[in-house]
Each structure stands twice: as structure tokens, then as C-alpha cells.
Amino acid sequence: MINVGIIGGSGYTGGELIRILLNHPQVTIDFVFSTTRAGKTITLAHPDLLGQTQLEFTGEVNPDVDVVFLCLGHGNSTSFLNGTQFSKATKIIDLSNDFRLHADAGFNEKQFIYGLPELHKEAIKKADTIANPGCFATAIQLGLLPLAKGNGLNDQVHINAVTGSTGAGVKTSATTHFSWRNNNASWYKPFTHQHLSEIGESLASFGNEVGELFFLPNRGNFTRGILATAYTKYKGSVEQAKELYEDFYSAAAFTHISDEPIHLKQVVNTNQCHIHLHKHDEVLLVTSAIDNLLKGASGQAVQNMNLMFDFDEKEGLQLKAGVY
């Protein structure tokens, strides 16, 4: 058994992390830290956990936990770690974007490993500090990594992806409240989304040429999930592409290639990524789907924890989608 601490447990990712870890057979939650809810029961923020826990948020941390998850807003993890000292033995898994890029990975004599298990599994197993990937970045990278390794991304790559409202976080905004989001759709940050940088670094890691990425993110009128489509010119057949993908993900615990077109309900509430390939003339269409809060955030963080502590990679993550 390991003792776990959670920093920033009142948001969507924190709530999903608590839900998973309460049911993880190798974990005891030591504390859930919150500056705004200290002393209040966790179920006030996460009523779906009613009857499952009596834990309360706390304003204090135990510096000697085995692992701490940082579920803070982007830019806040750095300041929190600068002001809070954990033991040298404590492993850190950060869910913000503070340490994802190569230029930001070094911090206070620590080196954060980019926590995409399908790409860096062996490094994650040896790591003490992990930078959990972004949600869009996870869906898009898993859709394109086999092509990058196979030198199949020489041309322009056009990406269109739609995400649920939980991707914007728990704080309300003009584009997340029900009256605006319901029966509506829109794009945002066209061609400039912050996840492009980490996507680009991963795709370039094989040393092959990667064409320009054109990414258009969209807001969907649903709560959870990301459906991403990417297309580019591809010289091989769809059968050759499928062989490439199945070989790349042959040892992947949660990423699977589907013979049939995929949809979001297959993956929502799971740590799965499903991928489908379609060829039209000279263009290969790759579709990938994940749950933005699980494989795109908290589920992947637990997957990384499992690898770091030599647990079964699927421990605590055997979740079934609700397809009906």
C-alpha cells in the first residue's frame, strides 16, 4: 500500500482522481489539500462520492507521502512546489502544463518525464517526477505517433477535435454555462492551441520529418470526451497503416485499433483510447477518441503512478463505458 496526497482536489480532475483512488487496491488517500475548502467534506464538492468516503479537505500537507498529485491551474504547480517541501522519496505527478515541454522539464534538480505511457513507458517506470500530458495532446498524439515513427507525416497534417465542457475546468465562464453551451457549437484558439507544442515535440522524437500541423479545436455541447480527426497524404494502403498501428500499440494497455468507425460513448468514463483508420484516395483519415478527464487527465495520471510503483498498469482503471 502507498499513501497518496492530492493538491487541488475540488475541481473535475481532482474529483475523478479521488474517485479512482478510493477504489484502487494499492492506495490510501492520506490528504486532499484545498485552500478554499479546508475542513469541509469532500462530498460537498463531489456529491457523486456520497457514501464512499468521509474524507475532508485539509489546508495542510503531509510531506512524507509516497506520491503527490498536483491538480492545479496551469502555472500554479511551479509556485506551489517552490513554496512546499516534500521528502526526497515523494514522487510527483503534475497534471498542469508547467513541465511538459523539454525546456520546462528541469525544476529544482528534478527532471520531469513526459507521462505518455505509449511513448515513454520505460522512462516513466524509473521516474520520480511526471508531467501528465494534456487532454487534446493525448488524443492527437495517440492518433499520430505510429505515423510519425513510420515516417508517414511528411505532408501537412490537418486536425479537427471536439471536446466536452469539462475540458474548460470547473469554474464557469461565458462559454461553459448551460444556456450558451446547450444546442451550440464553436471553435476556439484556431491553429494556436497550447497543446500543439507538446504534440510537436513527441511527433519529432523519432527523428523523422513532420509536416506542419493545422489544429482546430472545437467546443461540443456535451460534458465529457474528445473526438479527434486527423488527415494527411499517405502513400501506403489502409491495411499497411493498420499494421503499423497495431505493431506500435501491441503492448499498450489502453490504446486499441478498431475495425469499425468509433464514437465517444465507447470511451467515456474509461481510460481507453480507441483509434480508427480510413483511406480515401491519397488521404489517410485517423480518428481517435478518449475521455478528457480520464485518459486525458486523471486516469492517465493513475496509469503513470501504477508504472512508477511497479503495480499492474491497469490497477484501479478497469472502468466500463456507458454506451446505452
140 by Cβ neighbours in 10 Å (0-12 / 13-18 / 19+) ranks as buried
Residue 172 has pLDDT above 80, yes or no: no
113 has which bridge partners? 130
How would residue 173 be classed by pLDDT, with cut points 50, 70 and 90? Answer: confident
> Phi and psi (nearest 5°) for 137?
-60, -40
Q: Which amino acid is at 227?
A: L
Which segments of the chain belong to CATH 3.30.360.10?
135-290
Query: Cell for 321?
Result: 463505458
pLDDT in tens, 229-288: 999 999 999 999 999 999 999 999 999 999 999 999 999 999 999 999 999 999 999 999
State how far the Cα of 16 lies from the Cα of 38, in Å rounded to an integer: 19
Which segments of the chain belong to CATH 3.40.50.720?
2-133+296-308
pLDDT in tens, 82-104: 999 999 999 999 999 999 999 99
Residue 171 has pLDDT above 80, yes or no: no
Q: Which amino acid is at 248?
A: F
State how far the Cα of 227 lies from the Cα of 167, in Å rounded to an integer: 12
- Average of per-residue pLDDT values in the chain: 96
296 by Cβ neighbours in 10 Å (0-12 / 13-18 / 19+) ranks as buried
pLDDT in tens, 19-47: 999 999 999 999 999 988 999 999 999 99
The one-character DSSP state at 23 is: T
195 has which bridge partners? none
State how far the Cα of 58 lies from the Cα of 61, in Å rounded to an integer: 8
State how far the Cα of 144 lies from the Cα of 78, in Å rounded to an integer: 30
Catalytic residues: 135
Report strand pairing: 110-111 vs 106-107. antiparallel
- pLDDT exceeding 90 applies to what percent of the chain? 91
Query: Cell for 246?
Result: 497495431
33 has which bridge partners? 7, 58
The structural architecture, per CATH, of the domain 135-290 is 2-Layer Sandwich (3.30)
Q: How many CA atoms lie within 13 A of 223 on its CB side?
A: 6
Residue 73 has pLDDT above 90, yes or no: no
Give the model's pLDDT for residue 162: 98
Neighbouring CB atoms inside 10 A of 28's CB total 13
Contact by Cβ (8 Å): 306, 127: no
Query: Looking at residues 111-132, what average pLDDT do you find?
Result: 98
How would residue 168 be classed by pLDDT, with cut points 50, 70 and 90? Answer: confident
Those residues with Cβ within 8 angstroms of residue 224's Cβ, 6 or more apart along the chain or in another chain: 164, 166, 268, 269, 291, 292, 293
CATH T-level fold of 2-133+296-308: Rossmann fold (3.40.50)
